[in-house]
Amino acid sequence: MRVFAAMVLALIAAFAAPAGAQASEITAVRFGEHASHTRIVIETRAPVRARAHTLSEPAARLVVSFEDAAWSVDGLPDRAGIGAGLVGVFRFDGAASHPRLVFTLTGPASISQQMNLDPAGGGYRTVIDIEPVSASAFASVSGFPQSAATLTELVVREAGVDFTPQACERIRVVIDPGHGGRDPGALARFGGMHEAGIALAAGLQLRDILNETGRYEVIMTRDRDVYVSLEDRVRIARQARADLFISLHADSAGDNTGPRGATVYSMNARAESRARSRAFSEGDWVDVSRPEEVSRILVEMSLSNKRSQSELFAESLRTEIGRAGPLWRSTPMEANYAVLTDAETPAVLFEMGFMTNREDARRLNDVRERRRLMQSAAAAIESHFSGCRAPGRTYWAGGPATASASAR
């Protein structure tokens, strides 16, 4: 049921293989400095299809991608040169499947016009005019992350991808009992078990409840009292290509025995930004055969899907848990937890109650009470994936559906 992943792969495939690609040599890059704008002229031996856009991060740049192009500029064997006006330097990157010229801008600028001109003494010309704009205007029209949707739509339209979702198959749920081994988590204050023991016992109960339905493939990050690093927990979710990741914990309020009840967290903005860096640093989303911007689009689409799915599931979980017992926080809660930082897997961290509260600790240590709590969690999972229950129906919600609608 990797609907989203399948769509992403289709998108990559379609983008990477443009029909009727025709190589053309770039023979000159020239600049014209005018009072109101800077003109960039790219000369080619044959007509060429080029697409230009600006990027604001990590530095202000203008990127011109070609369907296919080679470098053949006399006097610039290093494939780089110095610009004029709003362009500081430029370089040609021919390694990507879509070769591109990257112009470093000296300040915020936007594209005011782009034209293709037939030869007049020289070669075919792609002319791009850029003009200075305010920093905020630049941010609003530039690539990522601000206007991912616009470029996404462009890529989707050009790729001509069919977004018909696949039929529901087996749903993969990763259960992550927190702590373990040398890390006991919050220590037992009332009742017998430390947090690690309670999380494991609850996780195994949830696994058994889900397995009984026959609808899920359950993957445990640990099923005994061992230490598993936070990195490894995320990696397990990633490798399983899980549809849902649920981390089980029990809270602590230090010396304060008052706070009680459950809390459900999804990733906050900082966790999302860690997920974004992880996506690139671990190489999962980096593919040198496609333009960097496409990778960025795909990561943003994935994060947007993950965010909406995580929030939807957190809402189901709060609803079900709230029926079974007290909630410490009944409103959406977000946090920067490491286990929530895979760029793709919808993930929540479920604090089942407080180790530091006598009544919570009693319930969490009681096998029947704990099973009741896990039945509520299972009900939330069932409700979240309810679209998958009827044969032939598909489960589809979140970010990519928007791209799908706009692609038609």
Binding site for Zn ion (CB under 5 A): 178, 185, 249
Nearest distance from residue 176's CB to Zn ion, in Å?
Answer: 11
Count Cα neighbours of 105 within 13 Å in the Cβ-side half-sphere: 29
Nearest distance from residue 247's CB to Zn ion, in Å?
Answer: 8
Residue placing its CB nearer to Zn ion in the complex, 51 or 233: 233
Nearest distance from residue 345's CB to Zn ion, in Å?
Answer: 19
How far apart CA 199 and CA 204 sit, in angstroms, is: 9
Nearest distance from residue 250's CB to Zn ion, in Å?
Answer: 7
- Which tokens belong to 167? 């039929």
Residue placing its CB nearer to Zn ion in the complex, 185 or 291: 185
Residue placing its CB nearer to Zn ion in the complex, 129 or 251: 251
Tokens 């049921």: give the residue. Answer: 1
Nearest distance from residue 185's CB to Zn ion, in Å?
Answer: 5
Within 10 Å of residue 58's Cβ, how many Cβ atoms? Answer: 6
Is the N-terminal amide bond of 259 cis, ω within 30° of 0? no
DSSP state letter for 61? E
Spatial neighbors of 313 by CB under 8 A, at least 6 apart, are 244, 266, 346, 348, 380, 381, 384
Nearest to 61 by CA among 30, 103, 122, 98: 103
Residue placing its CB nearer to Zn ion in the complex, 249 or 276: 249
Q: Which residue spans within 215-287 are E strands per DSSP?
A: 216-220, 244-251, 263-267
Nearest distance from residue 372's CB to Zn ion, in Å?
Answer: 21
Residue placing its CB nearer to Zn ion in the complex, 108 or 177: 177
Nearest to 219 by CA among 241, 201, 250: 241
Nearest distance from residue 249's CB to Zn ion, in Å?
Answer: 3
Distances (CA, A) of 263 to 339, 350, 353: 16, 6, 7
Nearest residue to Zn ion by CB is 249
Residue placing its CB nearer to Zn ion in the complex, 159 or 364: 364
- Which tokens belong to 403? 């791209």
How far apart CA 13 and CA 156 sit, in angstroms, is: 12
Residue placing its CB nearer to Zn ion in the complex, 60 or 250: 250
